[in-house]
Chains A and B, each alone.
Chain A
Amino acid sequence: MSQQDWPLWEVFIRSKQGLDHKHAGSLHAADAQMAIENARDVYTRRMEGVSIWVVESKYVHASNPDDAASFYDPANDKVYRHPTFYKLPDELKNM
């Protein structure tokens, strides 16, 4: 079989106690069903998870690390955005 044609898939696994799917790794597969079965065979052997998501790698779009400065630095000194910044008056009981 011509493996060059098999796309790469990113695998996300949610553990039994978890709420979110975490990235577990990647693998090659011909289609989504095979990708899920491969993920089950490769990434859940030791009961790591109870739910599997697979996404073709080409559909995962990532931010550019070169933009990190303009993307993330400005948030560093805007403390007023945090919910802990302001104090509620005592009269407010139901906030």
Chain B
Amino acid sequence: MVYQHHNESRKPGGDFSYGHLWGSSHDSALIAFTLHLADDALILGHRNSEWTGRGPVLEQDIAISNIALDLIGQARNFYQYAAGLINELSLSARSPEDQNSLFNSSDTTEDSLAYLRDSWDFKNCLLVEQPNGDWARTILRQFFFSAFQYYLYEQLQSARHAGLAAIAEKAFKETAYHLQWSSEWVIRLGDGTDESHVRMQQSLDLLWPYTGELFRPTNYELFCIREGICPDISLLKPSWDAKVLEIFAEATLAVPRNVWMQSGGKEGRHTEHLGYLLAEMQFLQRTYPGNDW
């Protein structure tokens, strides 16, 4: 008899909502962390792709689409890596309580991970799922996140885990450009016209509460930090703060103070935006399963 409760129903791609599994073993934590990196990149890549064909200026339409492609490429690398880990694990037999878990699936692919999980299984931070808003909000979101990715990938390149390190090495160069591009837009709009400055300030007030989550490790991240798989993300904050202050000074923007930080995305507790985003992103794959084009 197969024991089922609502979290354990066998969904395509397996069930990732076992809170107790994450951090309790090397494999679970590594997979969770890889998925977190993949989800971050995919969701932000998707958000940026929403500008394609709608950019304010032709060259910026191309720029933001390029950045979206870079991010989706990073996501693919991480998803492929995670799928490999999951499939390997499912082949080495498991105990009965894993019968309905993700480890039971030996045919996980990058596509099933990207398109067939629901919002509670996504581990992206809350920042990347925020809506695009106007150009100011998009480039500010990019700046905050690219600055974080920059310092993360810089460290991850030399992490103990060769698979992740290789992905980080390639992504690092892309991220360096994303950071440069978005920094300059922050400066241009912050120190631009009265209107652009006001819009930047509004977006800053809106996005700032989502920046704290980037530096607060969840339990699977803590596990990976102890194992040397990932750098201590809380130690990345000083570099990030310095970068933000440097750019904001030129952009005549002020860092908000004493703001309570939102969190939960990395553990699958998302804002309502992610549901709508996934509905759009996953619609085709779910309606025509297995199709490609």
Interface residues of A (CB under 8 A from B): 1, 3, 27-30, 33-34, 37-38, 40-42, 45
8 Å CB contacts to A: which residues of B41-78? 56-60, 62-63, 66
Partner of A37, one of B58, B181, B196: B181
Q: In terms of DSSP, what is the predominant structure of the interface of chain A? A: helix
Is B62 touching A42 in the complex (CB atoms < 8 A)?
yes
9 closest A-B pairs by beta carbon, nearest first, are A38-B59, A41-B63, A41-B62, A27-B59, A41-B66, A42-B62, A42-B59, A37-B181, A41-B59
Given contacts A33-B184, A41-B66, contact A3 B57 (CB under 8 A): yes
> In this complex, which of B59, B62, B184, B196 has the most chain A Cβ atoms within 10 angstroms of its Cβ?
B59
Distance of B187 from chain A, by nearest CB (Å): 10
Is B188 an interface residue, CB under 8 A from the partner? Answer: yes
**Closest A-chain residue to B188, C-beta based?**
A30
Distance of B291 from chain A, by nearest CB (Å): 28
Partner of A34, one of B58, B62, B184, B192: B184
Distance of B138 from chain A, by nearest CB (Å): 14
For this complex, 9 residue pairs linking A to B, each with C-beta atoms less than 8 Å apart, are A1-B196, A27-B58, A27-B59, A30-B188, A34-B184, A37-B181, A38-B60, A40-B177, A41-B63
Could you tell me how many residues of chain B have their Cβ less than 8 Å away from some Cβ of chain A?
A: 15
- Bound CA span A15–B284, Å: 40
Q: Which residues of A contact B56 (CB under 8 A)?
A: 1
Interface residues of B (CB under 8 A from A): 56-60, 62-63, 66, 177, 180-181, 184, 188, 192, 196
Q: Which residues of A contact B181 (CB under 8 A)?
A: 37
Q: Which residues of A contact B59 (CB under 8 A)?
A: 27-29, 38, 41-42
- Bound CA span A28–B181, Å: 16
**Closest B-chain residue to A40, C-beta based?**
B177
**Closest A-chain residue to B59, C-beta based?**
A38
Distance of B168 from chain A, by nearest CB (Å): 22
Q: Which residues of A contact B180 (CB under 8 A)?
A: 37
Q: Which residues of B contact A29 (CB under 8 A)?
A: 59
- Bound CA span A53–B14, Å: 52
**Closest A-chain residue to B69, C-beta based?**
A45
Partner of B63, one of A3, A28, A30, A38: A38
Distance of B74 from chain A, by nearest CB (Å): 17
- Bound CA span A42–B184, Å: 18
**Closest A-chain residue to B193, C-beta based?**
A1
- Bound CA span A94–B59, Å: 55
**Closest B-chain residue to A45, C-beta based?**
B66
Is A37 touching B184 in the complex (CB atoms < 8 A)?
yes
Distance of B286 from chain A, by nearest CB (Å): 32
**Closest A-chain residue to B192, C-beta based?**
A1
